[in-house]
Amino acid sequence: MKTTALFVLFMVFSISLFAENGHDLWLRSKSTGKINVICKKTSPTLTIAIQELQKGWQGKDNATITLTLKSDKALKKDGFKFNKDEIQAGTESGILYGVYELLRRQQTGEPVEEKIYNPSYEIRTLNHWDNPDGSIERGYAGKSIFWRNGDNSMTVTDKDKDLWQEYARANASVGLNGAVLNNVNASPLMLSKEYLERVKAIAEVLRPYGIKTFLSVKFSSPSQIGKLKTSDPLDPEVIKWWNDKVKEIYSIIPDFGGFLVKASSEGQPGPQDYERSHADGANMMADAFKPFGGIVMWRAFVYSPNDKDRARQAYTEFMPLDGKFRDNVIIQVKNGPVDFQPREPFSPLFGAMKKTSLMPEFQITQEYLGQAIHMVFLGPMWEECLKSDTYQEGPGSTVGRSTDGSIYPQKHTAIAGVSNIGLDTNWCGHQMAQANWYAFGRLAWNNTLTSEKIADEWIKLTFGPVKPGQTGSLGFSNDWTEHFLVPVKKMILESREAAVNYMMPLGFHHIFSANNHYGPGPWYAPKGVRADWTPPYYHKADTLGVGFDRTHAGTDAVSQYHEPLASQFNDLKTCPEIYLLWFHHLPWDYKVSSGRTLWDEICYSYEKGLNQVRDFQKTWDKVEPYVDKERFENIRSKLKNQCRNAQVWKDACTLYFQQFSRRPIPYDIERPVYELNDLISSEVKRR
């Protein structure tokens, strides 16, 4: 009897847990029912929509769905509407997005509500920091899917096209409609004829999925590849060169989206090299795009080595230019004022620039959050930013509403995510990192979604039971829900806060290893390196205390925020403790809300983060019966490394800061297992 029961159990799992490697992302093949699709018009995009319905249908057998292209004043571009047994949209891409929404709801067990679904942003794009040689800056999942080195680097193969099609399908399934194909630290080669021809080939694959191609460009291209004497944006020859180049691009790629520009930043050339403003540079390019409907996304990531506070720089440079940009220029602003840190307050530019289109820039690739080793679900970080209230137009003026056209009359709205995609089989290096690609797409479409809902969707789509040979509704058993969905969702939703705890709690920021931004390095400050590229610039630890004073008495960065935030951040009584050391330099014996001293709270926070990761390991081990072997082992291995790294973070930071606090580590906290000198002499390696 016992043997028979085990055999039955084995057969159940052998049916549902067939081998998977993660390449299918959240679009895994499922058994389908029969569906009759009616569509009076034909096109490549509509053909894809019909095919997706036919191979993904989970509804009633032999049902009929009508796809209707019909404009409606209530529908935004790309928006769609569910009527009974009908998907209506004003554009073909809107029909496709409607199909993916319908299938997602079927596959996750959500009701299909008869209403309008409009995107929050007009342009929803991934920024790929890919280089012409195939390498990726801050890429942790292999080489570029677009570019490669070698004699045949420009040859387009069937394998290339298949991969680009899979990429396009994944993006379209979550509502993304743009891709910047190369690094913001751009090579001028990207504007050469042979590279533009490859962009054309990529665009032809992406186009049927509603995705436009964009390029990052080097501001000095006129002098570097155009052989002009200058790249001054007000020089007539330079203006003509850019006009001719844009015209050439549109002759090759008729639906080209536009340029992304990093200029006068981190040594990159820009208009300030010629004593011109950011507006001068951006407007010159925007004028070239005007006849073609293209846009310029101009990054606000700027900072000077001489500024007293890097966090103030973008606001200082761009606020005086509000209202001076063309209406087809969008200023791309990182979520926080420094650089994609585990936690930052939102950038004070959001809401403050009321006459200029602004777009949030999030980082999907985990440059500062454990890269492709640590499991860190970024939905809570982005939700935190989008729902932060700027108060610029009174309560409710959130970052999301300040950038999506709800408050200010922007001609164009957009949002960007720095990609985590590479040639690794599972696309992202870590199976769990796929959730961040998915989450960005979902928030780009609907910036009011909760992290809990997004995590629930992603887990069901990515790990939900798949039973070949059966048709109809996918369904989730009570057993699977209780023993897999609930604990894994809890783990994912806690992962970002855990990372903050074991890396940089209480407002600490930018105390990473300087070389690769992976492990801890609060001690790094060699001679000759500019101060704002060293952690002591940010933590300012001394025997009296720790933290960056950005109050009125310090750098006065708080004044860049609208009231009541400026006063709230300035006052210790009201400053949220998650930003405590971001805005204040405090004595080690300062009492926090828990009643502990600041020093003790720092130690307990690091201990909490480490223990959270240990609990993640236990949670994952318990769900082994519900996951295929390859993906289970991949995630388990990553969690082991994450736990080791969390131990290093805890020991390195508590031992380093103890030198300044001159206080004991609380005795009920686990003792360090590493020596500080050993950690300083041997940087933590990515595994």
Exactly one of 92, 367, 384, 532 is catalytic; name it.
367
Amino acid at 534: T
What residues have CB less than 8 Å from 647, skipping those under 6 apart? 610, 673, 674
- The total of other beta-carbon atoms located within 10 Å of residue 267's CB is 7
Pairwise CA distance, residues 614 & 556, whole Å: 40
What residues have CB less than 8 Å from 241, skipping those under 6 apart? 222, 226, 228
Peptide bond into 254 cis (omega under 30): no
**C-alpha dist (Å) from residue 35 to 82, 94, 109:** 17, 20, 18
Exactly one of 61, 85, 248, 266 is catalytic; name it.
266
Pairwise CA distance, residues 460 & 109, whole Å: 9
Pairwise CA distance, residues 596 & 150, whole Å: 59
Pairwise CA distance, residues 667 & 670, whole Å: 8
Pairwise CA distance, residues 564 & 126, whole Å: 34
Burial class of 501 by CB neighbour count within 10 A (0 to 12, 13 to 18, 19+): buried
Describe the chain by its helix, strand, coil percentages, rounded to 5. Answer: 45, 10, 45
266 tagged catalytic = yes
C-alpha 598, offset from chain centre:
32
Tell me the helices (H) and strands (E) count for the chain, helix number first: 21, 15
Q: What is the DSSP string of 269-337?
A: --GGGGT--HHHHHHHHHHHHGGGT-EEEEE-----TT-S-GGGHHHHHHGGGTT-S-TTEEEEEESSS
Pairwise CA distance, residues 655 & 675, whole Å: 8
**C-alpha dist (Å) from residue 171 to 62, 281, 365, 530:** 29, 31, 16, 39
Exactly one of 307, 322, 339, 630 is catalytic; name it.
339
Give the β-pairing of 86-89 and 80-83. Answer: antiparallel
Please check whether residue 398 is in contact with residue 390, taking contact to mean a CB–CB distance below 8 angstroms: yes
φ, ψ for residue 500, nearest 5 deg? -60, -45
φ, ψ for residue 149, nearest 5 deg? -95, 165
Helices (H), 109-153: none
Please check whether residue 298 is in contact with residue 331, taking contact to mean a CB–CB distance below 8 angstroms: yes
Amino acid at 636: R
339 tagged catalytic = yes
Pairwise CA distance, residues 640 & 621, whole Å: 11
Please check whether residue 506 is in contact with residue 601, taking contact to mean a CB–CB distance below 8 angstroms: yes
Please check whether residue 349 is in contact with residue 320, taking contact to mean a CB–CB distance below 8 angstroms: no
549 tagged catalytic = no
Q: Which residues are catalytic?
A: 266, 339, 367
